[in-house]
Structure 1
C-alpha cells in the first residue's frame, strides 16, 4: 500500500475538527511501525504546515497552491482526503506552533536539529517563495517554526541563503563556511553535505519518496554554491 493510501485511510477516520490532535493520533495508530509512523507524520506535517505557511501573509495564492502540488504528487484516488486536510489547515494560521511542537517531539530520535525537521522547513520555504515574494509574516512564520524545531539562528541563516530569500545566494553561507576558507576545506565540506543530503539518506530517516523534490532542490543549491566558489578560486 502506498504512503498516500495509508494517509488517506488514516485521514478518513479523523474528525474534521481534530487537526491539532493528528500527530498524537499518528503516534497511536502507527505505534507498532516506527518507520511508517515517521513517513506518515512527515507527510501530514508537510500538508498542514504548508497550508498554514501559505496563509501566513493573509491569502493563499494559486502560485502557492501550485507549489504545494509540485511537492505533493498525490494520486487522484487519494486527493480528496489530502485536499480536506489542506483546506482545513489553511483556514487560519492558528495552532501552527502546537502542531510544530508535536512534530518536533515525534521526529526521528527526538534530538535537537533532527534532520527530518530541516526537510520539513525546506518544504515550507518552497511554498513561501512560490508567488515570487516572501512576506515578512511568512519569514516570521518560518523563523518561529525553526525555533520550535531547535534549528539555531546560524543554521536558519544558511537555509535562508540556500533559498535566496533575502537576495542572491551566498555560496559560503550555503556551505556553512567562513569566507575565504582553503579550497581543501571547501571540497571536504561539499562532499560531506552531498553525502548527508543524498535522497537515500532522506528516505532512511522517514521522508517518503514522493517528497524527494526537496532533496533535489537542496542538492542543486549545494552544487551551485560549490561550483561558484571553485570558479572564483580558479580566477585568483
Structure 2
C-alpha cells in the first residue's frame, strides 16, 4: 500500500469528516510509525499556518504540493486534509498542541515536523515575522527546547554569530571529548535512515541535509575556535 493509499485509509476510517475525527483515526497508525500520520499532521499544520496570516490561497496549496512531491492524481487526498484543516474551528496553536500530544515524547519526530514547517514558511524565500511567531508557537506546543528551535532555524536562515553552542545543544564549558560525543549523537539522530524509521516520508528526508549542514557548520566553528585558542 502506497503512502497516499494509507492516507486515504486513515481518512476513510475516521468516524466523520472532521479534523478531530481524523486525529483519532491517526492514533493507532502512529504506534506503527506510519509515514501517513506524519504526512497528515504536516499537511494540516501547513494549512493552518497558511490561513493564520489571512486566507489559505490556491497558490499556497500549489506550492505545498511541489514541496511534498505529490504524484499526479493524488492531489485530491492532500486537498481533503488541507480543506479539513482550513474549515476546522481550532486555530494553529490548538492543532499544534494536538500534534504534540499525538507524538508524545518523540522529540525527534516533532523536530522533524518543525523542520518541515520552516521549509513551508520559507517557500517564498523570506521568513516573515508572523511566520516566525507561528513557528515559535509550534515549538512551545511541541514541548521542544530553545536549542532545538535554534538548530532548526539555523538550517534555514543561517547560523548566528554567537550561536554555535546553542545549535549543538551543548554548554559553553563542555569538554572537547564530550563535544565530539554529542556531535556524533546528533549526526546519528539526523541521519536519513533514522528519519525514515521515525515515520518521515522519504520524499521529505532531504530536509535533513539542511539540518545536518547547520550542525556541521556549528561543530566546525566551535572546533576551530578551540584549536586556535
Instruction: Quickly name the TM-score band, shorter chain normalised.
Output: 0.7 to 0.9
Aligned to 1:161: 154
The structure 2 residue matched to 1:195, chosen from 165, 188, 191, is 188
Comparing 161-170 with 198-207, greater Cα deviation is found at 161-170
Please say if 1:220 is aligned against 2:216: no
TM-score for the superposition, normalised by structure 2: 0.80
Runs of at least 5 residues in structure 1 that lack an aligned partner in the other structure: none
1:92–1:35 distance in 2 versus 1, CA, 3 Å: closer
Deviation at 1:50, TM superposition (A): 1.3
Structure with more of its chain in helix, by fraction: 2
Number of the residue aligned with 2:10: 10
The Cα of 1:145 is off from its aligned counterpart by 1.7
SS of equivalent residue, structure 1 residue 163: helix
Q: Tell me the matched-pair count.
A: 229
Measured in 2, the distance between the counterparts of 1:21 and 1:151 equals 26
Question: Alignment RMSD, CA only?
Answer: 3.3
Give 5+ residue unaligned stretches, structure 2.
none
Structure 1 runs (4+) greater than 6 angstroms displaced: none
The DSSP-based 3-state class of the residue aligned with 1:58 is coil
1:189 offset after TM fit, Å?
Answer: 2.0
How far the C-alpha of 1:146 sits from its partner, in A, is 1.6
Tell me, in whole angstroms, the C-alpha distance in 2 between the residues paired with 1:168 and 1:89: 38
Question: Are residue 138 (structure 1) and residue 131 (structure 2) matched?
Answer: yes
User: Which of 31, 36, 39 is the matching residue for 1:34?
Assistant: 31
Measure the CA separation in 2 of the matches of 1:63 and 1:218.
27
Q: 1:181 to 1:211 in 2, by over 3 A?
A: same
Q: TM-score, normalised by structure 1?
A: 0.78
